[in-house]
Structure 1
């Protein structure tokens, strides 16, 4: 079974952090627009603060990417590692939002609406906990049992050609 909610939440945070980090690096390089579209204003006023924000957000994006890859890995060990990395990544996101709320710039410029960031964190944590609670590894025996049950149901349904003539006529009249 895949972890749809977790994958969705992590992907959103990954994209947010990657875009924010790359935007900060673009501002450091003196680029204010890409393809004719203006970038968001720089999150920090000084180059050191911009570099800090870029490093923090790109590092978090990298951690979330590794977490996603590990979650969908083939072994149980890799999936457990991905789950731990997912919680760590959301923990870092939480720390950044709390820091933005408590200390202001430069992280306050990254999260324009801290109230929405808290809601996003809450929903992300719910997604991770939900998927952790309901996840079960796919099992070949379960798949085989499912296919056998479907075949038994299919065999138990009578063939339309072998049904009673009155029933066949009623079916044909409905068409």
Structure 2
């Protein structure tokens, strides 16, 4: 069973962090528009703040990429590692939102609406908890058991050509 809700939530956070980090790097390079579309103003008010924000957001995006890759790994160890990394990525995002709420700029400029960011964190945690509770690894024996059960059911159902209707038995004998 795949982890659709977790993958969706992590993908949204991945996109957010990657775009924010690349936007900060673009501002550091003096780029203010891409393909004629203006970029949001830089969140960092100083060069040091912009470098810090770019490193923090791109590092978090990288963490989430590794988490997504591990969550869909082939072994239980990889999947457990992916869950831990996913919670770490959401933890860093939570810390950023909390810092934006408590301390203001430069993180407050990254999150225009801190209240919506808190909702996003909460919903992401709910999605991850739901997937953790619902996830079961695919077991090759399950498929074999399923096939055996279907074969047993097929054998237990009488064949239509051998089946006789007791109400019509007398009709057939009279002919």
* TM-score bucket of the superposed structures, by smaller chain: 0.7 to 0.9
Deviations 1:36-66 (Å, cap 9, x if unpaired)? 1111111111111011100000000000000
* RMSD over equivalenced CA pairs, Å: 2.1
Partner of 2:105 in structure 1? 105
Q: Which residue pairs with 1:26 in the alignment?
A: 26
Does residue 1:52 correspond to 2:52, yes or no? yes
Name the residue aligned to 2:133. Answer: 133
Matches of 1:105 and 1:95, distance apart in 2: 14
Distance 1:49 1:65 in 2: 24
* Secondary structure, aligned partner of 1:52: helix
**Worse overlay, 145-154 or 123-132:** 145-154
User: Between Structure 1 and Structure 2, which shows a larger proportion of helix residues?
Assistant: 1
Tell me what 2:95 maps to. 95
Aligned counterparts of 2:56 and 2:25: Cα–Cα separation in 1:
12
| Residue in structure 2 matched with residue 142 of structure 1 by the alignment | 142
Partners in 1 of 2:84 and 2:106 — Cα distance?
28
TM-score normalized with structure 1 length: 0.86
1:158–1:26 distance in 2 versus 1, CA, 3 Å: farther
How many Å apart are 1:160 and its aligned residue?
9.6
* Superposed displacement of residue 78, structure 1: 0.8
Distance 2:73 2:12 in 1: 20
Consecutive unaligned residues of structure 1, counting only runs of 5 or more, are 164-175
Structure 1's 104 and 148: CA in aligned 2 closer, same or farther, altered over 3 A? same
Structure 1 runs (4+) greater than 3 angstroms displaced = 147-163
TM-score by length of 2: 0.86
Aligned counterpart, 2:70: 70
Secondary structure at 1:40's aligned position in 2? Answer: coil
For the pair shown, the structure with the greater C-alpha radius of gyration is 2
Tell me the residue number matched to 2:169: none
User: 2:162 and 2:54 mapped to 1: Cα distance?
Assistant: 71
* Distance across 2 between alignment mates of 1:112 and 1:157: 64
User: Structure 2: which 5+ runs fail to align?
Assistant: 164-175
- Equivalent residue pairs, number: 164
CA apart distance, 1:158: 8.7
TM-fit CA distance, 1:151: 5.2
